[in-house]
Structures are given as structure tokens and as C-alpha cells.
Amino acid sequence: MTYFTNREHAARELSERLERLNLSNPVILGIPRGGIPIAVTVARHLPHAEVGVIVARKLGAPGNPELAIGAVSANGAYVLDEPLARGVGASEQYIENEIRSQQAEARRREEQFDGNRRPALRGRNVIVVDDGVATGATAIAAIRAAKTAGARYVCFAVPVGPSHTIRELRSEADDVVCLHQPEQFWAVGQFYRHFDAVEDDEARRLFDSVEVSPELSSGASGHQDAH
């Protein structure tokens, strides 16, 4: 089953739903790398929107870094699957070290993608976006990171994700927008006709193509209505 031609197509459809929220001066934060084209396109469609990234890195299991036992953001907000962590033998010291290591990498990648251009989030309406969600670990870490940074309202928006993950995300974000929740879900890419990898150079080019309003880039306007 294919829902979208590519990420731009998905982002346009997502923008139509997000417009109904009527958020004032929202900050759109993409989770790299696939969420960056989504964020840029959404920001172009929403009035007075700013755009940036929010990086969340998965916490790998001992001896199996591809198995995520959680995730951590650049500002230290994290989520941990404690039963899974115990089951794979992750000690408290291992978890602390993994959080520290992945947080440092998340900071490095945020700087790499958009440097200091991201506006302050305190008091702002924030929409965290990705091109799809599977387990939800990085999404939860990103949502918690935005809240830790002082966002007054955090919406998580995604074109596609399994229903059980979306339910979990609703307990973390102030609102969740998901266009499709298929019963059979193996990987995000199965719902796109074209799902090429987003390279770092392409991500930076996309950010450079977005014009930032001077009055918004100051990070002012901290008392918008959430709806």
C-alpha cells in the first residue's frame, strides 16, 4: 500500500491538516534526516512559521547498537524502555554512558544541520515532524526535548505511523496529527513510492532555501494562543 509519491507530497497533505490548528507563529522542527524535507515544506505552507531541527539519537543495546532501548535528545531529554534494557543486560553504568555519548552526537548534528538559526522555543507553539514513525522512541525524546526547552504547546505531526505508536505519542504531546495509521506496518518507506535517503548536503540546502523573517528569528512573541 502506497500513500505518498514522495516526502514533498506527504508534507503538502500534512500541511493541510496542520493549517486547521491555526497556530500563531509556529516553530516547525524536523527530526533528521527524513523529517527535514517535511519540516521545510510545512513551514512554507503555514503562515509566519519558522523551521529548524530537533535531533534525537537512539540508545543502542549492548553489543547490538541497532537495537534501540530508548532515545536521547541534544538537551538531554530521553526515553528508556526499561524492561527491554534489563532484558538485553544494559547496566545502569552502560545506560548512563550511552546517554552521554548519544547526547553529544545529537548536539553535534543539530549544530551541523542548522547551527544557531533555530529560534528559542520558550513560550512558543512547536510542531515536531518526521516522514514517518515506527517505534516512537526518537519521537518521544524529541517531544520531551521541546517541552524541556520551554515550548508552551507541542504537536507531533507525521504522515504515517502504526496506531499503537500514535496512541503512545498522544500521552506525550499536546496534540498528534497522523494522516494514516495502517494495520500492517513494517517500515516507513513502504508507504512512499520514492523514499530516497536525505543526505546532509541536501538537508543544509533545504534549510538555506527557507527565508527567515527578522522579527521572528529574534525568538520574540512568547504568548501566542495554542489554537
Q: Is residue 214 part of a domain?
A: no
Q: Is residue 224 part of a domain?
A: no
Q: What's residue 200's pLDDT?
A: 82
Beta-carbon contacts of 100 under 8 Å, excluding residues fewer than 6 positions away, are: none
How far apart are alpha carbons 209 and 48 in whole angstroms? Answer: 16
Q: Is residue 118 part of a domain?
A: yes
User: What CATH number is associated with residue 35?
Assistant: 3.40.50.2020
Q: What's residue 209's pLDDT?
A: 75
Q: Is residue 226 part of a domain?
A: no
CA-based torsion, 129, 135, 138, 143: positive or negative: positive
Q: Is residue 37 part of a domain?
A: yes
Could you give the number of structural domains in the chain? Answer: 1
For the chain (length 227 residues), average pLDDT per consecutive 10? 94 97 95 93 93 94 94 95 96 97 94 74 97 95 97 98 96 98 93 92 80 39 37
Which region, left, alpha or beta, applies to residue 212 given φ > 0 means left and ψ of -120 to 50 means alpha? beta
pLDDT per position as a tens digit, 148-186: 999 999 999 999 999 999 999 999 999 999 999 998 999
Q: What's residue 117's pLDDT?
A: 67
Beta-carbon contacts of 208 under 8 Å, excluding residues fewer than 6 positions away, are: none
Q: Is residue 189 part of a domain?
A: yes
Residues spanned by the domain of 102: 7-208
pTM of the model: 0.88
Q: Is residue 215 part of a domain?
A: no
Q: What's residue 210's pLDDT?
A: 72
Q: What's residue 22's pLDDT?
A: 94
Q: What's residue 175's pLDDT?
A: 98
Q: Is residue 56 part of a domain?
A: yes
How far apart are alpha carbons 177 and 7 in whole angstroms? Answer: 16
Report residue 104 as a C-alpha cell: 553529544
